[in-house]
Amino acid sequence: MEFKKKGGKIAGCLCAYTPVEILEAAGMASIGLCGTSQETIPDAERVLPKTICPLIKSTYGFALTKKCPYTYFSDIIIGETTCDGKKKMYELLGEIKDVHILHLPQGKDVPYAKKMWYEECVRMKEALEEKFGITITDEALRNAVKKRNYARKLMCELYAMQKAEPPMMKGIDMMLSIQKETFAMSVDDYIADMEKLIADAKKAYLEEGERPVSADAKRILLTGCPSGGLIEKVVMTIESLGGVVVCRNDCSGERSQSFLIDENAENILEAISDRYLKIDCSVMTPNTGRYEDTLNMIEKYKVDGVIDIVLTGCHTFNIETHTMSKVMKENDIPYMKLETDYALADKGQIDTRIGAFIEML
Amino acid sequence: MEFKKKGGKIAGCLCAYTPVEILEAAGMASIGLCGTSQETIPDAERVLPKTICPLIKSTYGFALTKKCPYTYFSDIIIGETTCDGKKKMYELLGEIKDVHILHLPQGKDVPYAKKMWYEECVRMKEALEEKFGITITDEALRNAVKKRNYARKLMCELYAMQKAEPPMMKGIDMMLSIQKETFAMSVDDYIADMEKLIADAKKAYLEEGERPVSADAKRILLTGCPSGGLIEKVVMTIESLGGVVVCRNDCSGERSQSFLIDENAENILEAISDRYLKIDCSVMTPNTGRYEDTLNMIEKYKVDGVIDIVLTGCHTFNIETHTMSKVMKENDIPYMKLETDYALADKGQIDTRIGAFIEML
């Protein structure tokens, strides 16, 4: 409210493919609007099918019910044609809010993917310039890139703390901190919070000898769908039953954060667009990089077992579980697929399965 | 078998967006492989999630079990990145069969959609040339276009017969005839069969006074997902309970068939690619054309009620039902959404709902 009163502009974002540097160069706050709560799903289901994923329903529900101030105060929402559910939900969201759609290529390997995605970044920049009567300069883009690069390095530093044995933080604390920062009203705030979080955790662990995680906790890698809506239901269960989430291979995980942008590129907008196309997501075909990365992270983080999360209704990650489970089996890595939503109906079953999985490790 | 023994080549097709003229210009038979049977679904579900649509599972199941001779004998399968389920299923199908993937734009209205899709048609042509060591000439493309244009005009003539009151054919007979023709080994065979079908039906109705459909049958428009796997389960039920399917607004319906290709275009491959991008499908965003077309067809075919078919797991058509039902309500058209699959578990419920809908008309 304060921010808006002072004339601040908010762009709602829903995907790691959204080039936030363009928004930030436009002087806007880029805020994550991905729904992580069951609360608005019954309302959303009056419009959307019950069978689509809880993240999509929750997100739309917050817009429909006006229960999320960030959605309500968004001056524009940036959607993207990642999965079918989101792509079509945005058509209905567009009846409530101003939505700009980024069209992603269907695969990274087609010869024109890079050029097409650059065109999309140009279209987004021009749409913002027209809507808000502004000019987004190369200088502003370059400054935004520098800040985001630094913020991403911090995020990688944060993730890397979990390589320690035992890890420096509980997974749940790290995930809640990261989630809170998707609502930071500026990259400067985000950076300050991250620096403090890292400094505090390192001081406690390295200087004060604190060990928030038991040395015999089983080290879990999470992959698959975004797990922001499952922090209590899944991550807390893992960590209360003898496990610890040491890393994630998903859209806000280490790998995505590790891609930086060439700050000195002649065409800075092109450098931005190139960065985003590196992200691995199951909406791309093929998406073999995800399997390789998971193996790499298992080694780096000394992972004991992999939990592959499928939000109910997510076809792309669900189909990829077939190959992921095969790759894990070939490499003798304990693996569990967990298909669930934000509701509590299956909580007992999930607890039992997670408990059994960790016990088996 | 006979066809293959003589050196004939088969291309398996799975979508109305597949530019069959390119395959036919390559001297190949283009055969529809969309699965319409429950039979292979339990096998497919050993690999694919249960939650994806029966068409995708059935198609994959036929390849996995080698139960479909057309799939088995396909020299190449042309997949396309329409929906999430198909896009990701093709990755697994590619482990069994040689699959070429056409990348569709996510919407027709983006400025580069036409150019991108043309590039995809060029890529497909070049892939065929390389794989089979052939050259696809412009002359061959132009000849293929002429034949397909004629075949499409016949299909439109066939559909138009249902404008008669009562319609000239039962919907089920027409749909079964059309489905049979997706297996025609040449466009010439297809044309000969269609000509005979139309001539016979017209003679019976116009000269011999036969009336296969009762004059008081309620006139139904089918729209939504492909209904080839629901001919017995849904169409036969409609027609045994006092209704008749007079038209379809789906991917093999009248509207798709009505788009012809400019036979004299300077760049014939570009003319082919332009034609296919006109097709309305829920995988495109936005896809408002479908609502307008449905209203047009309701008027032309004097439709009493609309049944919107959603194959279980199809997110794109499912989400579009929200707008479709709204448009129908605004225009006072009786409307029913029917979400179902190929299994018989819900047969009783479907029969009751269809019966009640027709009675209400």
pLDDT per residue as tens digits for the range A48-74: 999 999 999 999 999 999 998 899 999
**Structure token pair of residue B283:** 């995988």
Radius of gyration of chain A, Cα coordinates, nearest whole angstrom: 20
Question: Does A103 contact B103 at a Cβ distance shorter than 8 Å?
Answer: no
Q: Show pLDDT as tens, one digit a residue, over chain B (361 residues).
A: 778 888 899 999 999 999 999 999 999 999 999 999 999 999 999 999 999 999 999 999 999 999 988 999 999 999 999 999 999 999 999 999 999 999 999 999 999 999 999 999 999 999 999 999 999 999 999 999 999 999 999 999 999 999 999 999 999 999 999 999 888 999 999 999 999 999 999 999 999 999 999 999 999 999 999 999 999 999 999 999 999 999 999 988 888 899 999 999 999 999 999 999 999 999 999 999 999 999 999 999 999 999 999 999 999 999 999 999 999 999 999 999 999 999 999 999 999 999 999 999 9
- What strand order describes the sheet that includes B9-13? B28-32, B9-13, B76-80, B99-102
B residues 194-213 lying closer than 8 A (beta carbon) to A: none
- The dihedrals phi and psi of B190, each to the nearest 5 degrees, come to -60, -45
Whole-number pLDDT of residue B5: 83
Instruction: Report the chain A residue with the minimal C-alpha distance to residue B116.
Output: A112
Contacts of A321 (CB under 8 A, 6+ apart): A224, A308, A310, A337, B49
Question: Does B320 contact A47 at a Cβ distance shorter than 8 Å?
Answer: no
Question: Does A313 contact B51 at a Cβ distance shorter than 8 Å?
Answer: yes
Q: Are the C-beta atoms of residues A163 and A301 closer than 8 Å to each other?
A: yes
B337 in A contact zone (CB under 8 Å): no
Instruction: Report the chain B residue with the minimal C-alpha distance to residue A103.
Output: B106
B residues 29-88 lying closer than 8 A (beta carbon) to A: 47-49, 51-52, 81, 83-85, 87-88
In this prediction, residues A293-299 reach a mean pLDDT of: 97
Minimum-distance CB partner of A315 among B81, B88, B112:
B88
pLDDT greater than 90 at residue A4 = no
**Structure token pair of residue B76:** 């190449």
A106 in B contact zone (CB under 8 Å): yes
For residue A48, the distance in angstroms to the closest alpha carbon of chain B comes to 6
pLDDT confidence band for A76 (50 / 70 / 90): very high
CA angle A130, A135, A137 (to 5 degrees): 140
Kindly report the three-state secondary structure assignment for every residue of B269-311: HHHHHHHHCCCCCCCCCCCCHHHHHHHHHHHHCCCCEEEEEEE
- Determine the Cα–Cα distance for residues B30 and B9; give it in Å rounded to an integer: 9
- Determine the Cα–Cα distance for residues A197 and A191; give it in Å rounded to an integer: 10
- The dihedrals phi and psi of A72, each to the nearest 5 degrees, come to -60, -45
Question: Does B47 contact A320 at a Cβ distance shorter than 8 Å?
Answer: no
Question: Does A106 contact B47 at a Cβ distance shorter than 8 Å?
Answer: no
pLDDT per residue as tens digits for the range A335-345: 999 999 999 99
Whole-number pLDDT of residue A59: 97
pLDDT per residue as tens digits for the range A228-276: 999 999 999 999 999 999 999 998 888 889 999 999 999 999 999 999 9
Whole-number pLDDT of residue B358: 98
- Determine the Cα–Cα distance for residues A17 and A79; give it in Å rounded to an integer: 10
- Quote the pTM value: 0.97
Residue in A245, A176, A167 with CA at minimum distance from that of residue A213: A167
Minimum-distance CB partner of A316 among B88, B123, B283:
B88
E-assigned strand segments in chain A: 9-13, 28-32, 76-80, 99-102, 218-224, 243-249, 305-311, 335-340
E-assigned strand segments in B209-270: 218-224, 243-249
Q: What percent of chain A has pLDDT over 70?
A: 100
Residue in B327, B307, B309, B325 with CA at minimum distance from that of residue B317: B309
Long-range Cβ contact pairs of A211-217 (< 8 A, separation 24 or more): A211/A166, A212/A168, A212/A169, A212/A170, A212/A173, A213/A166, A213/A167, A213/A168, A213/A169, A213/A170, A213/A244, A214/A166, A214/A242, A214/A244, A215/A165, A215/A166, A216/A242, A217/A166, A217/A242, A217/A243, A217/A244
A273 in B contact zone (CB under 8 Å): no
> Within 13 A of A339's CA, how many CA atoms are on the CB side?
15
B residues 282-301 lying closer than 8 A (beta carbon) to A: 282-283, 285-286
**Structure token pair of residue A26:** 């436009």
> What count of other Cβ atoms lies within 10 Å of the Cβ of residue B62?
26
Residues on chain A touching B319 (C-beta within 8 angstroms): 48-49, 52, 85, 88-89, 91-92
Q: Cis peptide leading into B286, omega within 30 of 0?
A: yes
